[in-house]
Amino acid sequence: MLDRLRAITGAGNVLTGEDAARYGRDWTGAYSWSPLAVVRPGSTAEVAAVMATAHEARVPVVPVAGNTGLVGGTKAPGALMLSLERMTRIRALKPEARIVVAEAGVVLARLHDAAAEQDLLFPLWFGARGSAMLGGALSTNAGGSNVLRYGSTRGLCLGLEVVLPDGRVLNLMQELHKDNSGYALKDLFIGAEGTLGIITAATMKLVPAPRAHATATLAAPSLAAALSVLNRLQEVTGGLVEAYEFMPGGYMDRLATIRPDLGQPFTPRHEVTILVELGATAPRDTEPRPDGSIPLVDLLEDTLASLMEDGHVLDAVVARTEAQRATMWARREAAAELALTHGPVVDTDVCVPLDRVQDFLTRMPVRLAALDPNATDLTVAHLGDGNLHYTVFPSQDGAELMDAIRAAIEDVVAELNGSFSAEHGIGLSKLSSMRRRKDPLALEMMRAIKAAFDPLNLMNPGKILPDATEETRA
């Protein structure tokens, strides 16, 4: 099979041994493995030929894009890893239609730059944008900090090109905003984490690039007050809030220890710290006045001042320079470093209704203390979406304890009508949650879909869907 792959992609693009070993680890370091080989096709035709070859040889295939996924989705012991890193063409960027057609290996930051050259914005924005690729973002239905304003990856995608497990190319590459011609096949591949096929290209929406941003860090007396602030800002700005990120006191403490270079916005620190960013395109909001001030920034400042008067805001700092804005974002984007690179962790990515976030944070310490009194936790949240990245650092390493903690988090989430998985996907790390919490009928339907696309179970096997036999035993 490897010789056939070499004939398809060129010998230099089939890596084995030491050359393949660097692909055998995920971003978090929690998963490592030895792949059979890594193949790097350079076109859709090559992906199709590679898939047909692997299919014939009955070899499992695991796609990898930027490898920044946080749930073990690229683990591929003994499997053929198919890297999208050579699929880097932006096939078209159409400013009038506000779309970009790009291959799966295009890094998100490059899409940002290409859109910016046309005064447009590719609005999918998160900390890993310098490495994560379009194919990976689609396959995880990534979210990030702008979902509040622009929606998640699924909402931004108009068309897809997919290579099926047997090598056939499914062309769903349209540029339409409306299409009711049967089942929404495109949406099945978005968030499928490579279990149904290989996404090779996509048509994505662009939006007008904001001509001005107004960014602030604020402290609120409570999460309820912080929600009122969000609602007031949406009202007075006509829905210009692009990001509304919550960093609790415990997060700021850990930031002070691990990244003292980033400083602290307030001394003493508060329990509810929010990073808010507005983005505007209209000249009335963005054109500098003769004194150099920007109307949008003044609007934010004035609104926060009046919110301080009525007690919804305790303190606030508005960024006056790009450097100040960058520091505010760096504090928020240090989250993965704070949460995931230090010792054993149970990292979760849950979603609850916006007005139940405080309930989650009140209930969790009680559950946690009952399981592991010496455990500590860390929260950071896309508050505007009710999406919390809640991480527990257990006092001891042990699969049983970690799973009990995960189950307790799921309990609280279920009590609040939330979801145990908001934006990172399932991969391997949330298989037990799927087994415990997903409606059995929903799992049955998902397995039927998987079997329809991938009857031989060769596409990223073992991810998303827990083993049905284990479920029966449980």
d(CA 80, CA 61): 5
Which residue among 111, 164, 233, 336 contacts ligand FAD (CB under 6 A)? Answer: 336
Residue with tokens 């979603």: 351
CB 215 within 8 A of CB 277: yes
Task: Pull the structure tokens for residue 385.
Answer: 């979406």
Residues linked to residue 387 through DSSP beta bridges, in sequence order: 351, 382
Nearer to ligand FAD, 9 or 67 (CB): 67
Residue nearest to ligand FAD (CB): 136
CB 403 within 8 A of CB 437: no
Which residue among 60, 123, 136, 191 contacts ligand FAD (CB under 6 A)? Answer: 136
Q: Which stretch binds ligand FAD (CB under 6 A): 51-59, 190-198, 266-274, 393-401?
A: 190-198
Q: How many residues bind ligand FAD (CB under 6 A)?
A: 37
132 is a contact residue toward ligand FAD (CB under 6 A): yes
Nearer to ligand FAD, 314 or 329 (CB): 329
Nearer to ligand FAD, 23 or 360 (CB): 23
Instruction: Say how many C-beta atoms besides its own lie within 10 A of residue 271's C-beta.
Output: 15
Cβ 242 to ligand FAD shortest distance, Å: 14
Phi, psi of 163 (to 5 degrees): -100, 125
128 is a contact residue toward ligand FAD (CB under 6 A): yes
Which residue among 157, 173, 198, 412 contacts ligand FAD (CB under 6 A)? Answer: 198
Residues 47-106 that bind ligand FAD (CB under 6 A): 62-70, 73-74, 84, 104
Residue among 151, 195, 153, 197 nearest 172 (CA): 197
DSSP 185-229: HHHHHTTSTTSS-EEEEEEEE-EEPPSEEEEEEEEESSHHHHHHH
CB 61 within 8 A of CB 82: yes
135 is a contact residue toward ligand FAD (CB under 6 A): yes
H runs (alpha helix) in 123-222: 134-139, 147-150, 153-156, 185-189
Q: Give me the half-sphere count of Cα atoms (radius 13 Å) on the Cβ side of residue 34.
A: 3
Task: Pull the structure tokens for residue 116.
Answer: 């910016």
Which residue among 48, 133, 216, 294 contacts ligand FAD (CB under 6 A)? Answer: 133
420 is a contact residue toward ligand FAD (CB under 6 A): no
**String of contacts with ligand FAD for each residue 26-45, x by CB under 6 A:** -x------------------
* Residues within the interface to ligand FAD (CB under 6 A): 27, 62-70, 73-74, 84, 104, 126-128, 132-133, 135-137, 139-140, 142-144, 193-194, 198-199, 336, 423-424, 427, 460, 463
